[in-house]
A and B are shown apart, each in its own frame.
Chain A
């Protein structure tokens, strides 16, 4: 089955530690995205990547970092510089936007990160 996987579903960390969230897709999509969702709020874009070895900052990139070494994988690192890291994180993917078609995004199940 094609889809997007995120692991783990729940993640707990101590304040001051970096933590990496995994996102893998087997949809053969070129573009991948990371969003943050806080309770009762919409999705805010952290980073996105349209092609391997390239990525762009979204609206709230401070305190986060990403890499895109493989087409299938787009891990997100929440660094100790992120002031309020506790949130629900969603990964998504889509076809290459440059192809002119709709870039509807397909989402993973999300990771709930709690930092204490």
Chain B
């Protein structure tokens, strides 16, 4: 079964510092997509970044970057220069099934950025 695991229920970081959120997954597919979503207090789900498994280069979006280790099935999110507005629940998700018909979500990591 396809699974996504986030082992850090809560994390905190000081403003302007860097933080890394962990995610591991399980799939038998060789080609798939991985995502990080952000859910701020408004509860609106926002796509932060995505990674295509067949691309070796790690995806980057401004202050957000990923460390994608395909062999280890690891997909961590690094947030640089953390800002107060980064405070949110972060979900790791994957399009991991053959049919590509659904996403599998992790349990989430609550990130708090402290001033």
User: A residues near B, CB below 8 A?
Assistant: 31, 33, 40-43, 45, 48, 50, 56, 58, 88, 90, 92, 97-98, 100, 102-107, 109-110
Contacts and interface: CB of A to CB of B under 8 A. Distances in A.
A22 B84 CA distance: 33
Nearest to B107: A42
18 contacts: A31-B101, A40-B108, A40-B110, A41-B108, A42-B105, A45-B102, A48-B101, A90-B45, A92-B45, A102-B50, A102-B52, A102-B95, A103-B100, A103-B102, A104-B33, A104-B47, A105-B47, A106-B47
A97 B100 contact: yes
Q: How large is the interface on B (under 10, 10 to 19, 20 to 34, 35 or more residues)?
A: 20 to 34
Contact of A102 (B33, B102, B106): B33
Contact of B101 (A41, A42, A50, A106): A50
A98 B102 contact: no
B103 interface: yes
B44 interface: yes
**Chain A CB within 10 Å, residue with most, of B43, B91, B108:** B43
Nearest to A92: B45
Given A42-B108, A97-B100, A102-B50, A107 B95 contact: no
